[in-house]
């Protein structure tokens, strides 16, 4: 809602002549130096979509960006891309949880869970669904969703377990492929809007104006084009961006959390300098937009998420964790303008990768309201947490 209030202020004055940027041309510069461009975007594309995207409500944004206009379609692709990334992380996490459950179950006092192998086989088949027989009737819902790019039927079943048994105890098993299918659906939708079948073909995305870059981890269209051409996995788009590195960031040291923190410090210093420069040079409306919308904080978090995804993809959970903890605005506990769902999903994945499955549950908790379909993942992660603790003696203390 803050974005709506700020929009009333925009366009009320003309920008004084700036001395010209010495830092990269970017969506940050565009919005702050030329708020009229931002206002123009909000005229050409549904502003409620941008309000929602700013609030990290990509579902609402997707629905709001409705229309055949290429700019609107690019904006809608942005929302779909965001949802695809959230579900991609959750999907991958759910599969990892099933694998860990299977391994731990074999060590369980009293014998392994007899159903664990079938569940593991289904989880391992989430990508193409071949061999996911344990999903039973749910399998056809997955296939239908992927073919039609419509998640409705899958989401309607998400809170119901695939299997429920009562002997020897009440057992439930939730769909481990749900988020993988949802990621497929949202990516498919994004690609359709970009007239592409794969990300490296999505040049229409980089052909856009501000709608292609606003609030993103990539600073400008060149950055985006380069990352698309590089065929990076979508979650780590812009993580290796030369434009961001040129801000003065040290080289990555894989697997070193302290080096990752140093990278964050360098980023913060660079962004401070940049922000201060713009505060002097930009028109008042641009400064207002920056202050009220937290544009630098937004870019910072988006880039750190991409950077953390890169680390996670290489199996460096502790490095990713250092970046993600730095990315999080600790004063806001829920999903909202300050913290994106992807942040919490990645935090859960990084904590899980670091052996902290109980703390991964903490990270998933804020997603329960905006993404109630994570129930199955939470339950299974909870099962694993309990399983790993069965042989322990609990400890509790005051304060």
Partner 1 sequence: MRRHLMPWMLGGALLLAGATTAEPLRYAEDRAPPIVNPLFTTTMSEARLAELVFEGLFTDDAKLSSTPRLATGLDLAEDRMSAVVRLKPGVTWQDGESFTAEDVAFTVAAMKEESTASTERGRVQFIQEVEVIDDLTVKLTFEREEYAPEDKLHFKVLPAHRFEGTAVKRSDAFRTQPIGTGPYRVKRFNDDNSITLAKFDQYHDSTRIDEITMREVADKNYQSKLLLYESLEALVRVLPRDLATLQADRKVELYPYQTNSWWYVGFQNNRAPFDDERVREALTLLVDIDALLAPIGTGEVVSGPFVTSSPYYNHEVKRPKPDARKAAELLTAAGFAKSGDYWSRDGKPLTLKLTAQENLETAQDVVIALQSQLQSQGIKVEPTFLGTAEWKAKVWRERDFDAVLSQWSFDRSEDVTEQFHSEGKFNFGHYANAEVDALLDQAKDTSDPQAKKALLREVHAKVADDHPMIFLWTLDSYSAISRRVRKVVIHPFYFFTWSREWELK
Q: Which residue has the tokens 């910072």?
A: 300
Which C-beta is closer to partner 1: that of 229 or that of 362?
362
Which C-beta is closer to partner 1: that of 72 or that of 364?
364
User: At closest approach, how far in Å is the CB of 94 from partner 1?
Assistant: 15
- Name the token pair of 280: 């002097």
- Name the token pair of 135: 């999903």
User: At closest approach, how far in Å is the CB of 363 from partner 1?
Assistant: 8
Residue 115 sits in the site that holds partner 1 (CB under 8 A): no
Residue 292 sits in the site that holds partner 1 (CB under 8 A): no
Q: Which residue has the tokens 């210093």?
A: 269
Q: Considering only residues 19, 22, 166, 331, which one is a binding residue for partner 1 as defined by CB under 8 A?
A: 331
Residue 382 sits in the site that holds partner 1 (CB under 8 A): yes
Q: Which residues pair with 171 in a beta bridge?
A: 165
Taking the chain, what is the end-to-end CA distance rounded to the nearest angstrom?
A: 38
**Exposure on the CB side of residue 18, measured as CA atoms within 13 A:** 21
**Exposure on the CB side of residue 6, measured as CA atoms within 13 A:** 26
Q: Considering only residues 8, 130, 170, 280, which one is a binding residue for partner 1 as defined by CB under 8 A?
A: 170
Q: Which residues pair with 165 in a beta bridge?
A: 171
Residue 354 sits in the site that holds partner 1 (CB under 8 A): yes
Determine the Cα angle at 172 with ends 168 and 174, to 5°.
Answer: 155
- Name the token pair of 195: 């007239």
Number of residues forming the site for partner 1 (CB under 8 A): 52
- Name the token pair of 185: 């659906």
Residue 330 sits in the site that holds partner 1 (CB under 8 A): yes
User: At closest approach, how far in Å is the CB of 342 from partner 1?
Assistant: 18
CA distances from 97 to 264, 288, 348 (A): 29, 45, 11
Per-residue x/- track, 223-262, partner 1 (CB under 8 A): ----------------------------------xx--x-
Which C-beta is closer to partner 1: that of 61 or that of 158?
158
Applying CB under 8 A, the residues found at the interface with partner 1 are 107-110, 168-172, 257-258, 261, 265, 268-269, 318, 325-326, 329-333, 354-356, 358-359, 361-362, 364-365, 379, 381-399
């Amino acid at each position: 809602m803050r974005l709506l209030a700020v929009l009333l202020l925009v366009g009320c004055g003309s920008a004084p002549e700036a001395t010209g940027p010495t830092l990269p041309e970017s969506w940050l510069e565009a919005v702050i130096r030329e708020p009229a461009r931002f206002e123009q975007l909000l005229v050409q594309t549904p502003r409620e979509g941008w309000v929602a995207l700013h609030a990290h409500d990509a579902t609402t944004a997707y629905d709001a960006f409705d229309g055949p206009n290429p700019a609107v379609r690019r904006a809608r692709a942005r929302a779909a891309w965001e949802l695809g990334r959230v579900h991609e992380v959750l999907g991958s996490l759910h599969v990892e949880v099933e694998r860990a459950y299977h391994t731990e179950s074999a060590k369980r006092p009293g014998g392994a869970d007899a159903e664990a192998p079938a569940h593991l086989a289904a989880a391992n088949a989430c990508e193409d669904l071949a061999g996911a027989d344990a999903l039973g009737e749910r399998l056809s819902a997955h296939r239908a969703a992927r073919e039609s790019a419509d998640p409705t039927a899958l989401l309607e079943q998400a809170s119901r377990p695939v299997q429920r048994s009562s002997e020897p105890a009440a057992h439930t098993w939730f769909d481990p492929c749900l988020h993988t299918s949802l990621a497929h659906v949202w990516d498919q939708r994004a690609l359709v809007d970009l007239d592409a079948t794969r990300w490296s073909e999505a040049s229409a995305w980089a052909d856009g104006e501000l709608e292609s870059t606003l609030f993103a981890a990539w600073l400008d269209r060149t950055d985006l084009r380069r990352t698309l051409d590089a065929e990076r996995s979508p979650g780590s788009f812009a993580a290796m961006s030369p434009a961001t590195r040129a801000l003065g960031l040290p080289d990555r040291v894989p697997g070193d959390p302290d080096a990752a923190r140093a990278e964050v410090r360098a980023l913060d210093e660079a962004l401070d300098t940049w922000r201060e420069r713009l505060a002097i040079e930009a028109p008042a409306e641009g400064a207002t937009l920056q202050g009220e919308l937290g544009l630098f904080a937004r870019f910072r978090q988006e880039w750190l998420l991409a950077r953390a995804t890169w680390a996670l993809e290489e199996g460096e959970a502790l490095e990713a964790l250092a970046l993600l903890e730095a990315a999080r605005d600790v004063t806001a506990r829920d999903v909202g303008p300050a913290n994106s769902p992807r942040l919490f999903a990645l935090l859960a994945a990084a904590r899980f990768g670091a052996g902290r499955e109980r703390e991964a549950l903490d990270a998933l908790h804020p997603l329960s309201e905006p993404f109630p379909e994570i129930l199955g993942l939470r339950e299974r992660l909870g099962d694993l947490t309990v399983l790993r603790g069965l042989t322990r003696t609990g400890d509790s203390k005051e304060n």
